[in-house]
Amino acid sequence: MAKMAAATHPIDLDRSAVARYIQLASLFRRRIESGAWPVGDQIPTVDDLAAECGVARMTIRQALDTLEADGLIERFRAKGTFVRKQPVEDLWCEVKTDWSGMLLARDGARIEVLSVRKDARLASVSSSIGVIAPSYLHLRRRHWRDGRPFLLADVYVEPGIAKKIPEKAYRTKTAFKLINDVPGLKIASAHQTLTVGAADPDASHLLQIPLNAPVAHVQRRASDDKGCVVFVADGIYRGDVVRLDIKVK
Structural domains for the chain: 20-83 (1.10.10.10), 93-244 (3.40.1410.10)
Q: What is the mean pLDDT of residues 15-27?
A: 74
- Per residue in 64-84, pLDDT tens? 998 998 889 999 988 999 999
Q: How confident is the model at residue 247 (pLDDT cuts 50, 70, 90)?
A: low
Non-local CB neighbours of 48 within 8 Å, separated by 6+ positions: 2, 4, 5
High-pLDDT (> 70) share of the chain, %:
80
Q: How confident is the model at residue 91 (pLDDT cuts 50, 70, 90)?
A: very low
Ordered DSSP codes for 85-145: -PPPS--SEEE--SHHHHTPPPTTEEEEEEEEEEEE---SS-GGGSEEPS-EEEEEEEEEE
- Phi first, then psi: give them for residue 128, nearest 5 degrees: -65, -20
Residue 16 has pLDDT above 80, yes or no: no
Residue 172 has pLDDT above 50, yes or no: yes
- Per residue in 129-169, pLDDT tens? 788 999 999 999 999 987 889 899 999 999 999 999 999 99
Count of Cβ atoms closer than 10 Å to residue 248 Cβ: 3
CA angle, residues 44, 204, 220, in degrees to nearest 5? 115
> For residue 2, what pLDDT is reported?
46
